[in-house]
């Protein structure tokens, strides 16, 4: 019942040394991902100063589930102004929307539209 005998154990391969698991995304990055996904699908309602309304805040907090709502509110207080300044989000019709969503296929790259790929490389 002692397991594998020592002479046989020397012939067996050693266990794999796996790297440590990847660290979780920083909270700010998770908040940005959540806001961008919402802005594309169901834009969250915002006040005139750009902060989320209560219903939108509850929706974002539910998507960032293990975090308490007060932490989510404080996190968004720091993240939202940066997203507005960078032009990633824009306030349109009382909601935080993705301004590039209106452009369809065209994406803004370095201040100009991205070129179309050659016809033989285009996905059909």
- Quick one: three-class SS letters along the chain? CCCCCHHHHCCCCCCCCCCCCCCCCCHHHHHHHHHHHHHHHCCCEECCCCCECHHHHHHHHHHCCCCCHHHHHHHHHHHHHHHHHHCCCEEECCEEECHHHHHCCCCEECCEECCCCCHHHCCC
pLDDT of residue 102: 57
pLDDT of residue 105: 41
> Which domains can be identified in the chain, with CATH numbers?
27-100 (1.10.10)
Please write the tens of the pLDDT for every residue from 14-49: 877 777 776 677 888 999 999 999 999 999 999 999
Please write the tens of the pLDDT for every residue from 60-114: 999 998 889 999 999 999 999 999 999 999 999 999 998 886 554 444 444 555 5
Distance between CA atoms of 45 and 4, rounded to whole angstroms?
A: 64
Answer yes or no: is pLDDT of 117 > 70. no
pLDDT of residue 5: 86
pLDDT of residue 27: 86
pLDDT of residue 106: 44
Distance between CA atoms of 1 and 120, rounded to whole angstroms?
A: 66
């Amino acid at each position: 019942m002692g397991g594998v005998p020592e002479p046989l154990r020397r012939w067996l391969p050693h266990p794999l040394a796996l790297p440590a698991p990847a660290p979780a995304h920083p909270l700010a990055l998770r908040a940005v991902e959540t806001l961008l996904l919402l802005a594309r699908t169901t834009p969250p309602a915002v006040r005139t100063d750009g902060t989320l309304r209560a219903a939108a805040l509850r929706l974002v907090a539910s998507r960032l589930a293990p975090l308490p709502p007060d932490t989510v509110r404080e996190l968004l207080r720091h993240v939202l102004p940066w997203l507005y300044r960078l032009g990633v989000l824009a306030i349109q019709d009382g909601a935080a929307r993705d301004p590039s969503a209106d452009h369809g296929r065209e994406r803004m790259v370095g201040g100009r539209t991205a070129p179309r790929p050659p016809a033989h490389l285009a996905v059909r």
